[in-house]
Homo-oligomer: A and B are copies of this chain.
Amino acid sequence: MTIDAAVTELSNLLGPRLSRSKGDLESHGRSETYFPLTPPDAVVWPGTAEEVQQIVQICARHGCPMVGWGTGTSLEGHALAVQGGVSVDFSRMDKVLAINAEDMDVVVQPGITREALNLELRATGLFFPVDPGANASLGGMAMTRASGTTAVRYGTMRDNVMGLRAVLADGRMIHAGSRARKSSAGYDLTALMVGSEGTLGLVTELTLKLRGQPEAIMAAICAFPHMEAAVNAVIETIQSGIPMARIEFVDANMAAAFNIYAGAELPQVPHLLVEFHGSDAGVAQDAERFREVADDFGATGFDRATRAEDRTALWTMRHNAHFASMSLRPGASVLVTDICVPISRLAKAVEETREDIAAMPFPGTILGHVGDGNFHAELMFDATSEAERIAVHAFSERMVDRALRLDGTSTGEHGIGMGKMKYMGPEHGPAWEVMAEIKRALDPGNIMNPGKVVQVN
């Protein structure tokens, strides 16, 4: 078999840095959501860009699929080798290659995690701001065009990747972008690669924008009498230009889940979790302006977290929302939706979603980065029940219909993987076929993460 031939050759190249052990195959065949276990044929751990290139050359010769692996925290089955082949695990390529503090940029290997990067940056006064919650690898974050809680202030991976190096399907190494802050030199291959989910190549290096660590940070949480009040407070906050560093919504069910999972003592009503970055005077003023808006919408229990440990507790609780949601129905499978709409449509989108969850036979939570118009519903369903499977997927389709009807998108930050392939046609129309044409041009053998994002046959 072609895959076997590739694996044999890779094994000669990499020795112990190729594994076919059951444990390694299974750990690289698992996703955090509802996809069944899908072990690859082998796992490889390259140590250098040149080794990635050699791996691609071998796989290309044998038509063997390759799927990049960061930390395995993607939610749509992005990193599963559904057509077999090799999982290329970047965990050994986790170095910071250059910190250019004066230019506020950093060059990293793709396997470094967000937290490890910020730890290395600590002494510089700079930080990398994109925070999807999970301690994902920067390579994975770039490939899914990740964002998260801080995008309202600092943008997404689209805005924060300045350049990259990648190995394409035929083994060519390319360099896209530069350390210049802007460029008009030809097609934006950096932006094309960011969000391509490994279907166009394997990234071996990223140049990232950094920001100055804010002089002062203040976080807060407050409760709202009902969902509409909370969402309207968000809309008013954004429209009045208060510079939010984070503005996160959780619904009453999510508050209940935090109480169970994280031992919180939140009233079982919708909440907003917010953060302000700036000078001491600035964050105090921003927090006060936000509080005035929140008060107008009936907010109560406004609780400031100025100490670092209180903020950490707040955001750890928030970042564990996925696991907290799961505690509402232990043992269930989880489907996470991820729509993003213009902010003027947010109240309608969230309210329709709340009503939809209420009508479902399983529990669900709503939470999201509402400053961007992005929110998630998490549905805890019994995957062994055909009725629940049908219901949850119909729910997911209604979410996407809602997003598209309201001028939005089927996925704000999680990406397509396999889970959202069926929505690409409805969202993009003929532009989806254009994506496939680009894929065919750059990967005619369809060996780079086949079965994801685009339909090539």
Contacts and interface: CB of A to CB of B under 8 A. Distances in A.
A401 interface: no
Contacts of A449: none
Contacts of A182: 145, 147, 151, 156, 158, 340, 372, 374, 409, 412-413
Given A180-B409, A441-B441, A432 B186 contact: yes
Interface stretch (A166-174, A266-274, A298-306): A166-174
A180 B11 CA distance: 46
Nearest to A421: B186
Given A102-B344, A342-B100, A184 B144 contact: yes
A186 B424 contact: yes
Given A342-B103, A440-B441, A431 B185 contact: no
Which of A183, A340, A420 is most buried by chain B, counting CB atoms within 10 A of its CB?
A183
A: interface residue count bin: 35 or more
A342 B177 CA distance: 12
Given A185-B410, A195-B184, A409-B183, A175 B373 contact: no
Interface string A409-427: 1111111100010011001
Interface of A: 100, 102-105, 144-147, 151, 156, 158-159, 168, 172-176, 178-189, 191-192, 194-196, 200, 212, 235, 239, 241, 338, 340-344, 372-374, 403, 407-416, 420, 423-424, 427-432, 434-435, 437-438, 440-442, 453-454
Contact of A174 (B146, B175, B413, B430): B430
Given A146-B184, A175-B431, A212-B241, 18 more contacts: A102-B342, A147-B182, A147-B184, A174-B428, A174-B430, A175-B429, A179-B407, A179-B408, A180-B374, A181-B373, A184-B409, A184-B412, A184-B414, A184-B416, A185-B415, A185-B420, A186-B195, A187-B453
B192 A188 contact: yes
12 contacts: A102-B343, A147-B184, A179-B407, A180-B342, A180-B374, A180-B409, A181-B343, A181-B373, A183-B412, A184-B409, A187-B435, A189-B434
Contacts of A342: 100, 102-103, 105, 179-181
Contacts of A434: 168, 172, 174, 189, 442
B435 A186 contact: yes
Nearest to A183: B409
A409 B207 CA distance: 14
A158 to B, nearest CB: 7
Contacts of A428: 174-176, 185-186
Contact of A181 (B104, B340, B435): B340
A284 B54 CA distance: 58
Contact of A187 (B104, B195, B410): B195
Contacts of A453: 186-187
Contacts of A192: 187-188, 191-192, 438
Contacts of A168: 434
Contacts of A178: 407-409, 427
Contacts of A196: 187
Contact of A372 (B181, B194, B239, B373): B181
Nearest to A429: B175
Contacts of A454: 186-187
B340 A183 contact: yes
